[in-house]
Structures are given as C-alpha cells and as structure tokens.
Structure 1
Amino acid sequence: MAAGAFYRAGELINSAEWRGALTYLEHARAQLDGQLRGGEEAAHALYGALRLKSGLAAARAGDTDTSENHLSEARQLAAHVTPGSDYCRLAFDRDNVAIWSVGLAVERRDGTEAVKRASEMQISPTTPR
C-alpha cells in the first residue's frame, strides 16, 4: 500500500497539487506507524521513501524548511535499513537519501547546495541501479 501511495503522490506532484500530495503522504505514513514502532526494516524503508516524496512536494511548493525536515527524517530512517535494500522497488537506503538530497536542492533551485551535496556523495556498490 505504501509503495502505491509513493507513486500516486507522484501523480499529484506532477499535477502541481503539492499541498494535496503532502496531505496524502502524511496519511500514508500514518498507516505505517505500527510497523515502524515495531522496528520492521521494510517499514523504515517505505516510511523513508514517503518522507523523500514529501520532501519533493514541499520543495516544489517552495517550502524549503519542510523539504529539509522531510530529508532529515529520511536520513534517520535510512540508518535502520540495510544498504542495498530494495523494498517494493523503491531502493531506499542511505545512498538513495544522498541522491535525493541533491535532487531536492535542484528542485528548490539551489544549485550551489546541489553541487556541494553531489560532491560529497560516495555511492556504495550495493546501491540498486
């Protein structure tokens, strides 16, 4: 269900329904709360992917603080996911968060930050390609 929400939210974002996407993603994350508290790795990965998508919606809406907060939460969640994991084909792990961090800076039109983040990335060989 969370993977479907990830893609449906993408459709909302593509239609410039950024606030609607943020609300939708918030509800999708709430459905994973029990599994997240239970420590399930898959729940951490799915929740993290939803956080990244929320960061994208916020960036497109021009809300830098919210975008960065979602990115920060995703980073914390990635610490609980085995590198190279690919739950529901969302490829969420630390490397994925690093890649998204560059993309979110680009979405906010912060080229300096995007280049800085990209230059600091070191993608591991376990990252799904």
Structure 2
Amino acid sequence: MATLAEDRMVWAANISSDPAMIATANWARCTTFMATGDYRLGLRLLSDTRNFLVRELNDDDRDVLSVYGGLHLREGVMAARSGDSDAAWSHLDEARECVRRGASDANDPYQLTCAPINSAIVAVAVAVELGDADEAIRRSQCVHIPRGFPAVRASHHHIDLARAHLWKGDRRRALESLLRAEQYAPQQIRHCTRGGTCARHPLGGFATSRPAPTRQ
C-alpha cells in the first residue's frame, strides 16, 4: 500500500509540472527505500532529485530552498544508516547552508522543511544512526521543540534520544524520552520498529509504576 501511494504521489507531482512538488514526491518515495534498507537506490534518487531542483534555487523562494535542504537532510540520515559518516555530516552541512540562506520550518505548500529545528532534530538522528550516543545527547541539548511542531517528527526525535540514553545505560532518561514520544504521537511507540525495540528494554524496570499506554 505504501509503495502504491508513493507511486501515485510521484504521478500526480509530475502532472503538476512543479519542480519542488516533484522533488517532494521523490523525497517521500525514499520512505520505502529506508524501510527496506536499500540505501544505495534511495541516495541515488535523492541526488538526482537535487540536481534536478538546483536550477530552481534562489534566495527569494524560501519554500524551494526548504525542499532542497530537506533532500539533504534525508540523504544525511540514509548515508548514516549505510555507515558513511563523512557523507552524512556533509549533507547536514549543506542543509545548514540552506538555513543560512533563509530556509524555514514553516513550509506550507510542500510540508518539507530543513530549518532550523528540523535540522537540529536530524543531526541527533544522524548521530544515533552512526551509533554515537554521546554526540546524539550533546546535539539534543540544542533542540527546543515549540508548540505546533509536527507531532510525528517530535515523537521520532524523542525515540532517537531514548536509544542514545539506553546505549549509555541511562534507563531512566531513556524511559522519560519514550514517555515524551508517546505524548506527541502514541502510534510511533506502537508501530515504529525502533521505538518498539527501544521500549521493550528500558520499560522493564519501570513498567509497574507507569501508566498503561506506554507499558502496552
């Protein structure tokens, strides 16, 4: 079903003839590549998409700039999952350059953002995917999620942070992060593979004193 939805999104975006919409559809299409671990194809698609979109870049169009930076952020995560730390951090540097040029977290037409909050969240995620708990926790200190920020993104951030705390042996902070993730988006704990795997460990010692939703 997810693949079918992605194909229809790409089809509709191509009909629109909007380069940023096409880029956003390709960004979404990489969700399947991330889920299946086919990072090589995903990274190739994102790179080709950036090369296609770069012709539309200018500092007067912050929406397109945000989409371009969003492609770099997703490439950073995929590179980290593939084990390429240099490429991962390089993509985040490129996203930060988009932030400097004016990319915004509020991107209504395309719902794809790169700055500044989402960039900080992805930096934590990249550190986690690279297995660097200390770096993830250090970078998380710069993340301050405001009201109205997308709940799924906020929840996923706290799941990533829970994984970092768990690796450091800090089960209490790991649990606290999972509880925050649950407050933002309970389905992430139930259905996200990383959230569920993490939850099964830190909750063991605390479950009897916690409310039912997280224990389940």
Alignment correspondent of 1:69: 90
Aligned residues: CA RMSD: 1.8
Alignment correspondent of 2:25: 4
CA gap 1:125/1:81 in 2 versus in 1, 3 angstroms: farther
| Cα distance between partner residues in 2 of 1:121 and 1:108 | 19
| Cα distance between partner residues in 2 of 1:77 and 1:126 | 22
Choose from 101, 115, 119 the match for 1:97: 119
| Cα distance between partner residues in 2 of 1:86 and 1:51 | 19
Task: Name the amino acid aligned to 1:64.
Answer: S
8 Å CA contact retained: 1:36, 1:44: yes
> Which runs of no fewer than 5 residues in structure 2 stay unpaired?
1-21, 152-216
User: 80-89 vs 113-122, which deviates more?
Assistant: 80-89
Alignment correspondent of 1:16: 37
State the number of aligned residues: 129
User: 104-113 vs 32-41, which deviates more?
Assistant: 32-41
| Cα distance between partner residues in 2 of 1:83 and 1:67 | 21
| Cα distance between partner residues in 1 of 2:114 and 2:148 | 12
> Which runs of no fewer than 5 residues in structure 1 stay unpaired?
none
- Alignment TM-score, normalising by the size of structure 2: 0.55
Work out which structure has the larger RCO, using CA pairs closer than 8 Å and 6 or more positions apart in sequence: 1
CA gap 1:56/1:9 in 2 versus in 1, 3 angstroms: same
| Cα distance between partner residues in 2 of 1:38 and 1:117 | 28
8 Å CA contact retained: 1:84, 1:126: no
Higher Cα radius of gyration: 2
User: 8-17 vs 110-119, which deviates more?
Assistant: 8-17
> Which 4+ stretches in 1 moved above 6 angstroms?
none
Percent identical among aligned pairs is 30
- Alignment TM-score, normalising by the size of structure 1: 0.89
| Cα distance between partner residues in 1 of 2:78 and 2:131 | 14
How far residue 107 of structure 1 moved from its aligned partner, in angstroms, is: 0.9
CA gap 1:83/1:89 in 2 versus in 1, 3 angstroms: closer
